[in-house]
Chains A and B, each alone.
Chain A
Amino acid sequence: MTVLLYLIPAALFMALLGLGAFVWTVRTGQYDDMEGAKWRIFMDDDRDDHIPD
């Protein structure tokens, strides 16, 4: 059963990574515009959106 000593921390670590990623998406406001996000994928002129600096 010593394998558990590696597996449990590994599982928890990966889950925490997922949680951390989710927290990051919330903090950066990626759920603020659920309506716009689904339409944005249809915009195929991404390059034109950026004004060269």
Chain B
Amino acid sequence: MSIDETETRGCPTLGGPVAQKGAAADPSAFVRGGDDGLAHLDLLVRGARCAGCLAKIERGVGAITGVHSGQLNLSTGKLSVTLEPGVADPGVIARTVADLGYQVSPFDPGEAEQERDKYGRFLLLCMAVAGFAAMNIMLFSVSVWAGFTGEMQESTRALFHWLSALIALPAAAFAGQPFFRSAFASLRKGKANMDVPISLAVLLALGVSLYETITGGEHTYFDAAVMLLFFLLIGRWLDHRLRGQTRLAARELLSLQASTANRQDRDGNIHAVKASDIEPGDIIILWPGDRAPVDGQVVQGTSDVDMALVSGESAPGLVVQGDPIRAGMVNLTDKLTIKAKARTEDSLLAELTRLVEAGETARGRFVKLADRAAQAYVPIVHTLAVLSFTGWIIAGAGVHHAVLIAAAVLIITCPCALGLAAPAVQIVAVGRLFKRGVLVKAGDALERLAEIDTVLLDKTGTLTLGRPRLINADQISDVQMELAAKLTRTSRHPLSRAIADLVGPGSVAGDAKETPGHGVEGLVDGARVRLGRADWAGAGGNVQQNGTGLWLVTEGAEPVHFIFEDALRENAAQMVEGLLARGLEVEMLSGDREAPARAATKEVGITKLSFELTPQEKISRVEALVADGKKVLMVGDGLNDAPALAAANVSMSIASAADASQAAADMVLQGEKLSPVLTAIDISRAARGRILQNFGFAAAYNTIAVPLAVFGFVTPMIAAIAMSSSSIIVTLNALRPFMRLGKT
């Protein structure tokens, strides 16, 4: 992998460019002033995956005059720029990143988001404190155990116990906070979650040990109490990191709405404003490449707009004065002036966002495996502890001895292994999937994916590439190709891009002019050349206007036909075959017309299909299946798929998809291929098996350890060994490679 300055746009190792040149909104409205006289700007960069991206973006931004530093966070995609106000133009910064081939939008984190980020750091600190305390107390504990035979004087032992208490009590008070708080909150609601037995075990162990220390007793459980916290905090932190990916998704959806718009004042000046500040009646300028921030109406200009993200329609549509514009449409060819008809929160995009949120709330009812295990586990643990306490009292032991036994039972049964069982496996599986090109955004998505029995596929952009490809390139001479490229390099129309990208960079035609809805024309070597619709280009009456075809007409030469097709993705058919082989039902949902939808199903081998669906109808279909008790995986890419993605049990999106649908999906496939869908299903099933294995192991461990504790054979040393070994075994089991993978 080279990280040199190259001509490649986008990520050099994975995927390639995800944004068109110059396709960036002006983020000026999001610049914040700092105390140091410098201004700060946060941008959300999408498509950056490796060192090459990191170097390219940071160097590119750093080279702009007035920019002091630019730092990209590769995990979150946040690019923090420090700049001199008035010297560096925020618009230039955004355009530079877009020109490098990355999608860029202003970053506007919510307050709740920042709070949760702080919680992650807090967990890490708790873990560090617990780890520090556990190691140092163990130093004393091992000495005490080693000196058991009588070599150690009682005064030395007492000193060691006091030192342990000195470390353990403050450490547990700090590091135990996440558990104590959660247990307290749950008790107040009259329920007992997993944190109740944990808190009880820790507090009881500390209390008993302190009592023993004061009265000069032999056994203390300081080490066990703190080690318990340490292992559990590892599990918590891993779990928090997994959920962090979901937070990222919510933030991306937010940042989509935090976009900017160019508003024209009454005196004709154009300012960049936050999209959320737009009022109905405002005049907004949409340059080619801009996305409409709100619903509105065209007051001036004629242009082609890309509606793929809104309706799923693959061909761009022509809009003229008076036509409605929906939020999310992208202007392609010419400057448009539109009049806002709604605020952002009343626009289509916000409506979709609300549908997405509704779907996600419904999905929140899914109970994770670990929680199901905990629900069964908690009552058993409490009953056992109470039973052993009363049992020993009845058997004639003193209260002191009975409490000691009950504490030992709670410590030994404490769900260290259970707390690590799921997150450890999931974080490993998520890492493996990432290497195979699947970004998993929610940890429990893997569990949900393992249970699916039905797969719903979108057509445009999912089964197909979602953009036209020239299919008769071999019938066109190089000269004519170059001629066409000279014209198309000036245009943003998808058909033009298809030709220009195929030929590569080069010169452009003189006096090039685009007529929206018709084609491009220009002067090459003194001759007038037109590329566009047959009737407009002048291909003559003898040629038939063909769906997605273009004609290249040069004065005095034979017209040349360029034929395009929205091609199926590589190995789409293999993926469908693989899904069927795994015993899954496959169905296609398309917003497109019947003919292309039928053609696509035939080619990939799907028998069930629905077409011309609105976003609402897509949700209805998903909900009907879910209501039937089916476990549905939805794979889609358009903005129109986003609500259906959120409504399905589990969902996947594609890296080139609309931001909203990537945000709504649980997993995002990187790159162009569909085969990672199968890999994801296989890994999720393997991970589920591994989690159940870990639970099984934890149960087996308890059937041996619990009787020992109940009958009073557990010393602090045995507790320490049993707890750490079970946690380590569970972690090692998670790290073991998954078997039988790689076949697709």
Cβ–Cβ < 8 Å partners of A15 in chain B:
132, 135-136
A22: chain B residues within 8 A (beta carbon): 128, 132
Evaluate contact between A39 and B156: CB separation under 8 angstroms.
no
Contact A34 B75 (CB under 8 A): yes
B132 touches A43 (CB 8 A): no
Q: Which of B51, B58, B125 has the most CB of A within 10 A?
A: B51
- Asked if A43 and B51 make an inter-chain contact with CB atoms under 8 angstroms apart, the answer reads yes
The reply on B62 being an interface residue by CB < 8 A is yes
Q: How far is the CA of A34 from the CA of B135 in the complex (A)?
A: 25
Contact yes or no, A36 B136, CB < 8 A? no
Q: Closest chain B residue to A43 by CB distance?
A: B55
Question: How many residues in B have their beta carbons less than 8 Å from beta carbons of A?
Answer: 30
Instruction: Determine whether the beta carbon of B73 is less than 8 Å from that of A36.
Output: yes
Query: Which of A11, A16, A26, A43 interacts with B121 by CB under 8 Å?
Result: A26
Query: From residue 11 to 52 of chain A, which have CB atoms closer than 8 A to chain B?
Result: 11-12, 15-16, 18-19, 22-23, 26-27, 31-36, 39-40, 42-43, 45, 48-49, 51
Task: State whether A33 and B51 are in contact (beta carbons under 8 Å apart), knowing that A23-B128, A26-B124, A42-B3 are contacts in the complex.
Answer: no
Q: Mark B152-173, 1 if CB is under 8 A from A, else 0.
A: 0100100000010001000000
Q: Could you say which residues of chain B place their CB within 8 Å of the CB of A32?
A: 73, 75-76, 117
Contacting pair B132 A51 (CB below 8 A): no
Task: Judge if B284 is at the interface, Cβ distance under 8 Å.
Answer: no
Asked if A36 contacts B68 (CB within 8 A), the reply is no
Residue with the highest number of chain B CB atoms closer than 10 Å, among A22, A27, A36, A43:
A36
The complex places the Cα of A19 from the Cα of B50 at a distance, in Å, of 32
B139 at the interface (CB under 8 A from A): yes
Choice from B51, B58, B67, B167 contacting A42 with Cβ under 8 Å:
B51
- Report yes or no: B50 in contact with A39, Cβ–Cβ below 8 A: yes
B59 in contact with A48 (CB, 8 Å): yes
Q: Are A12 and B74 in contact (CB under 8 A)?
A: no
The residue that B129 contacts in the complex, of A19, A33, A40, with Cβ under 8 A, is A19
Contacts of A39 in B (CB 8 A): 50-51, 54, 74
Residues of chain A whose beta carbon lies under 8 Å from any beta carbon of chain B: 1, 4, 8, 11-12, 15-16, 18-19, 22-23, 26-27, 31-36, 39-40, 42-43, 45, 48-49, 51
25 A-B pairs in the complex with CB atoms less than 8 angstroms apart: A4-B156, A11-B139, A12-B136, A15-B135, A19-B129, A19-B132, A22-B128, A22-B132, A23-B128, A31-B121, A32-B117, A33-B73, A33-B74, A33-B75, A34-B75, A35-B75, A36-B54, A36-B72, A39-B50, A42-B3, A49-B58, A49-B62, A51-B62, A51-B68, A51-B69
